[in-house]
Structure 1
Amino acid sequence: MGLKWNLCLLFFATICCIDAQAQIPATKPHKIRLEGPAQGTQFHITYFASDSLVRRSEVDSILTAIDLSMSIYRKDSRISKFNTDTVMSVVMDSHMAKVINASFKYHKLSKGQFDITIAPLVNLWGFGANKSPVAPDSATVRKAKELVGMHYLKVSGNRLIKKKQGIKIDVNGIAQGYTVDVLADYLERKGIANYMVEVGGEIRALGTPPGGHGFSIGIVQPDGESGEELMTAVAQLNEGALTTAGSFEKFIQYKGKKLGHHIDPVSGFPYMTDILSVSVYAKTAMEADALDNYFMGMEPEQVKTKAKKLKGVAVFVIFKNKNQSIETIYSDGFGKLFKN
């Protein structure tokens, strides 16, 4: 989802970093980096090549196209148009179509827990474009739930149709991962075989930096006393994606409890969970992004059990135990990613 904060990027390479704009001839692959603003956060691209193969303007063009398709913060995006009360359908571009179709897939896989029509509830709790969380009463939540449900959406050709006026969608729980995949695929079409792409903490990587075993990705947890983030694990990523969903930075106080920004589309309330964060490894960043949000509504052991049933998926869970101490568990597949 939009919360992308808790993956620290650590690169343990033995070569010197050469700036992307430096005009220094080289015959051996060297590190090239691009970075800048993207989707309310930052993007970072690191790749190894003998020459600069990617221009910043090309990356910006890709990011702009995705924003014009699916950003809820741009009034001129296709999704913003769809979310207008008087509009009952929009023509989807290729970006929007891929994300909407994937959203139906993960809605089915999650038995309704992944639901992009949750926008009215996200806005009600103050986690949408309005960044001031408030605590609504139960009656207001019930009213908002009347506009939540994937059955209110229909795809006909390249057109997305709402079956009920007032339906609004929010694809922030999957679109950032999709953006990472688009950028990664773009690098591969350029012939780049050693890279790491990160947008707001969502990561996809391929290959191995010279002298290394993979791109080193740090996973952090909050310190129980100070609230500061502490490194708890380092994963080596040389193929696939790693994303994280968490609750300890973006939350609301409700009846004396901290409730994270992940909302249950069935109850209409934020999930009551002991999980602080779930990191998901998968083949694509879009898959990992969708699953990390789904897993936030489970108990820690349930996450581990569910991940085992999904091909190519592994998880690392940080949670509070009954004594309110912080613990971690992870699936066997995730253990294989740890740095030796």
Structure 2
Amino acid sequence: MNDLLYKVQSRFLFHAHIRIKIPASCDDAVFSELFTVMESVDRKYNSYSPDSYIDRINRNAGHFVTVDDEMASILKEIVFFSDIFKGAYDVTVMPLVRLWGFYRDKVDRIPSERDIGTVRPFVDYRKIEINGNEVRIGKGQEIVTGSFIKAYAVDRVVCRMRELGIDDGIINAGGSTIYALGPAAGDEWDIAVSDPADNRSAYSFSLLNRCLSTSCQSETFVTVDGKRYGHILDPRTGYPSPNRLVCIASDRCMVGDIVSTGLFCETRDSFTEVLGRIPREYALEGFLIDPSGEPVCSSGFCYTHEKNAA
């Protein structure tokens, strides 16, 4: 049992509350340094940040834009995983996201098949061109970073913590990306995730120097005629995925968040097969709750399920 004392600070970044928990023996200045790392990622690589590299790429769609080595490396890895998912994961999905109205105050109707058919040609990660430090997307395309950039920032923070000699702590980025470092006592951290469709039901996972990435539809959605439509869209169909929850355990947060998003658009029958396409060196384990509420997971994914009475 880990009886160490900790302290916590929280800031709002990437449209989420980011909580960093470190040993109480650390100087408070450490928090400022770690959040500065995240703020730098937000400023330079977040599609929602004005004049970020992604913002420039989007505003200049159809033309090459010069980016730094880090941005080029991030996008190359995005394309690598997009190839594995064969269209189920696509960062150029933003035109569909806008069509569904996730950025409008009120939505009166869901898009028609014709509406979706008009927009879908612009959703194609294969049109992302990376030539050294020059990047171009097709005209009418738009990259959205929500499925990976927050997690990438957490990866950067974990690296900085290790450089500072901090081998114990938790970074909780909005609940959907949680990295458990250490703890020094050697115990695993217990992380609980609620079933989005049943708040009496929770799943508990143990982490040690790993990340838990979670995808669900309960946080961001539009409501039309009393029915909720979640923000995770299947790029292949243009419609929201009906799944309830996906959790991925990984060594790197960005990889975990990408994979959890892509697998959210799979079925329970295809889940394990698609997860198996990812090279073993990524050491991923996955867990899915489908629309029926039945879980399916990879062979190495351990969890406990608790259900409280109403």
Alpha-carbon offset, residue 307 of structure 1: 3.1
User: Is the CA contact 2:190–2:204 (under 8 Å) kept in the aligned structure 1?
Assistant: yes
Q: How far apart, CA to CA, are the structure 1 residues paired with 2:152 and 2:104? A: 24
Q: Secondary structure at the match of 2:47?
A: coil
Correspondences of 1:182-331 after superposition (within 5 Å): 182-201=156-175, 202-208=177-183, 210=185, 213-222=187-196, 224=198, 229-253=199-223, 258-271=228-241, 273=242, 275-308=243-276, 310=278, 311=280, 312-321=283-292, 326-331=293-298
1:334 aligns with 2:301: yes
Which AA in structure 2 matches 1:175? I
Contact 1:99 1:174 in 2 (8 A): no
Corresponding letter in the other structure for 1:316: F
Identity across aligned pairs (percent)?
23
**1:108-119 paired onto structure 2 within 5 Å:** 108-119=83-94
The alpha-carbon deviation at position 68 of structure 1 amounts to: 1.8
Unpaired stretches in structure 1, ≥5 consecutive residues: 1-11, 16-29
Bigger drift between 70-79 and 82-91 goes to 82-91
Matching of residue 159 in structure 1 with residue 134 in structure 2: yes
- CA distance in 1: counterparts of 2:267 and 2:84, whole angstroms: 17
In the superposition, the TM-score normalised over structure 1's length comes to 0.79
| Aligned match of 1:34 | 9
RMSD of the alignment, in Å?
2.6
Q: Find the aligned partners of 2:197 and 2:124 in 1 and give their Cα distance.
A: 37
Alpha-carbon distance between aligned partners in 2 of 1:267 and 1:316, rounded to the nearest angstrom: 23
What corresponds to 1:27 in structure 2?
A: none
- SS of corresponding position for 1:121: helix
Distance 1:14 1:55, change over 3 A: closer
Is the contact made by 2:61 and 2:136 (CA closer than 8 Å) also made in structure 1?
no
Is 2:3 the partner of 1:14? yes
Measure how far apart 1:177 and its partner are: 1.4
Residues 185-219 of structure 1: per-residue CA shift (max 9 Å, x gap) = 11111111122212112011221254x72111101
Residue 172 (structure 1) aligns with: 146
**Maintained 8 Å contact 2:197/2:244:** no
Secondary structure of the residue that 1:333 maps to in structure 2? Answer: coil
